[in-house]
Amino acid sequence: MKVAIVTGASSGIGQSAAIEIARRGTGVILTYANNPRGGLETAAAIEKEGGTAVALPLNVGESGTFAAFRDSVADALRDTWRRDTFDYLVNNAGFAQTSLIEDMTEEMFDGLMRVLLKGPYFLTQKLLPLMADGGAIVNTSSSSATTATGVEPGYSVYASMKGGLDVLTRYMAKEFSTRGIRVNAVSPGSTRTRIGDDAFTRFPEVVPALAAKTALGRVGEPDDIGAMIATLVSDESRWVTAQNIEVSGGYNL
């Protein structure tokens, strides 16, 4: 059985990706940070459908913990799947904070940088020795980093870090190609998740306006993105690498 690691899988896109990957017959090691209940709920949902899942704590903003996390992954692979490698990595964990440039603090800047760019960089580096040749990586980026969706004030740092992740995706694809490992990114548009302190729940009035700017007439749901991530790591996408796929329903089209 193939095994995937999905970070930030206690809710939203990560939860959907983990469940969809498991539906396709892949074991899942999923991580959670501040929401252990959500992580366990994701694992339970996978197991309810006959899949196999292990939930592990991980703060992607604390790179000093990555060596210990790698050891926990090695233990889970051995104990649950009788393997010493895994096949797929989904760098999905993240959070959003907004601030105008004139109000941005170094503390907020550094927090976003650690989670959105430094975290995926060094977590991938740390896990590479455990990754099987011929595997796949998907990085969750954001349409806020592309020119196609326009620029919203307040997202300068969030979008800049996601833009850095887009560049990193191409370099990973180049360097890891010698091992047959494919690397792609997905860029969700407006998606109904808990990001931004549950902004969609707190500000439901923004949904109709976002839906009106979307060609397919609604905001995205986590399952819309999770299905694409599951497709990208699977063998269906065996000839796709170094791509950043916008999954937005045609936002601003």
88 is catalytic: no
- From 32, 88, 155, 158, the catalytic residue: 158
Q: What is the dihedral of CA 196, 197, 200, 201, to 10 degrees?
A: 180
Report the C-alpha gap between 228 and 210 in whole angstroms.
21
- CA dihedral sign, ordered 60, 63, 68, 73: positive
Q: Which residues pair with 6 in a beta bridge?
A: 30, 90
The H or E element that residue 161 is part of is helix 156-176
Report the C-alpha gap between 28 and 20 in whole angstroms.
10
Give Cβ neighbours of residue 241 (< 8 Å, ≥ 6 apart).
173, 177, 182, 183, 184
Closest alpha carbon to 91 in 13, 20, 2: 13
Give Cβ neighbours of residue 156 (< 8 Å, ≥ 6 apart).
99, 100, 101, 104
Tell me which residues are annotated as active site: 158
